[in-house]
Structure 1
Amino acid sequence: MGILEDKRRARLFYKYLSKVYDTVNPFIWNEEMRAEALTMLDVEEGDRVLDVGCGTGFATEGLLEHTENVHGLDQSVHQLEKAWDKLGKHDPVSFYRGDAERLPFKDDTFDVVWSSGSIEYWPDPVATLRDMRRVVKPGGQVLVVGPNNPKSTVMQKVANAIMLFEMGPSYDPDIAITTVARDPDEE
């Protein structure tokens, strides 16, 4: 069991990680990777966007390059404090403390729902994806960006220790979803 499977332990983990998160993050998830992921979305200037698991606001910054109306959600108050310090004065960006499995928004609220580096910590990814679908407007877009297989054995052991999903021999990045989720009934 990874240390982040339990939400209480995850909050404690991020309390301390938030102090160095922005220093460590570029080695795992950098601006080039973020820009590449954002090309999978068609975000228009007036779109209302939800960033699920926004952490310290790294992806939120990228989303703000496409629209001003970004809403970040994270379970860690410490991560949100960092995000607010960086971006809180950028109106109308808003930050909310909440659970990805129970999004505190009404149905059909957002044009785009985005999450990066968060799915591997969701105890019930299917429930979270359903709730994302609930809050995205009909015809809207949902993109979830997750980790790739670590290249070194050491990094794989570190990832397996903290992530909900082990990325060992059965992990196959070739089956990762890399397209924008669409309603199967519309295809």
Structure 2
Amino acid sequence: MGILENKARARLFYKYLSRVYDRINPFVWTEEMRADALTLLDFSDDPTVLDVGCGTGFATEGLLEHVEEVYAIDQSEHQLEQAYAKFGKRGPVHFHRGDAERLPFATDAFDVVWSSGSIEYWPDPVRTLREFRRVLKPGGQVLVVGPNTPDDPIARRLADAMMLFYDEYEADRMFKTAGFEEVRHAFMGPSYSPEVAITTVARAPE
């Protein structure tokens, strides 16, 4: 388990990173990548949407291009403060501070659960994905963006020492073990590293 696959350490990390997050983030998680990921989801019929690990609201902003309101949750109060400054505490985004492993929402509450830049910090990804499945309506969609494992063995060891990196085979295993169906993957990234991220889309059983 990597250093940042620990909730307390991750919160401390984001206490400081939140101050510069929106200046650094575009170098690894671009608007083009966000737009490409959004095309993988079905937003017909005005779905209810949850953004898990919303951070400062970068993905939330993209989701609001497709739906009128978004529920958003993050464990970092410092990241959420940045998000409040963008969207306000009352408006189209319903913010919650909480844990992805214990979502404070009813079973079968959402049509879409989105999570980008969060899975790499989860101590138990399968447990968290099962929690996503719990809050999804039958047939609902999940989309998770995470870091693709590096090809270079040395880079891979360094990456794994920090947080979770995984390939499409591990993603397939995690999502299917959590009970999802129709699991598919897409690689994306900025021009200088076009496969830095792996995006997985799947559905909850009907």
Q: TM-score, normalised by structure 2?
A: 0.78
Show the counterpart of 1:182.
Answer: 203
Look up the SS of the partner of 1:143 in the other structure.
strand
Root mean square deviation, CA, Å: 2.3
Q: After TM superposition, list the pairs within 5 Å mapping 1:86-165 onto structure 2.
A: 86-88=86-88, 91-150=91-150, 159-163=159-163, 165=164
**Where do 5+ consecutive residues of structure 2 fail to align?**
172-183, 186-199
Distance 1:27 1:10, change over 3 A: same
> For residues 61 and 45 of structure 2, what CA distance do their matches in structure 1 show?
14
Look up the SS of the partner of 1:181 in the other structure.
strand
Per-residue deviation, 1:175: 5.7
Per-residue deviation, 1:155: 6.9
Per-residue deviation, 1:94: 1.2
> For residues 159 and 83 of structure 2, what CA distance do their matches in structure 1 show?
24
**Where do 5+ consecutive residues of structure 1 fail to align?**
none
Deviations 1:7-46 (A, max 9, x none): 1111111000000100110111000001111111011362
> For residues 81 and 92 of structure 1, what CA distance do their matches in structure 2 show?
16
> For residues 16 and 85 of structure 2, what CA distance do their matches in structure 1 show?
17
Contact 2:57 2:83 in 1 (8 A): yes
Q: After TM superposition, list the pairs within 5 Å mapping 1:28-39 onto structure 2.
A: 28-39=28-39
Show the counterpart of 1:64.
Answer: 64
Per-residue deviation, 1:47: 1.7
Q: TM-score, normalised by structure 1?
A: 0.85
* Off by >4 Å, runs of 4+ in structure 1: 150-158, 173-177
Show the counterpart of 1:8.
Answer: 8
Look up the SS of the partner of 1:11 in the other structure.
helix
Look up the SS of the partner of 1:107 in the other structure.
coil
Contact 1:45 1:67 in 2 (8 A): no
Deviations 1:113-152 (A, max 9, x none): 0101111111111111111111111221111111123578
Distance 1:44 1:85, change over 3 A: farther
> For residues 93 and 45 of structure 1, what CA distance do their matches in structure 2 show?
19
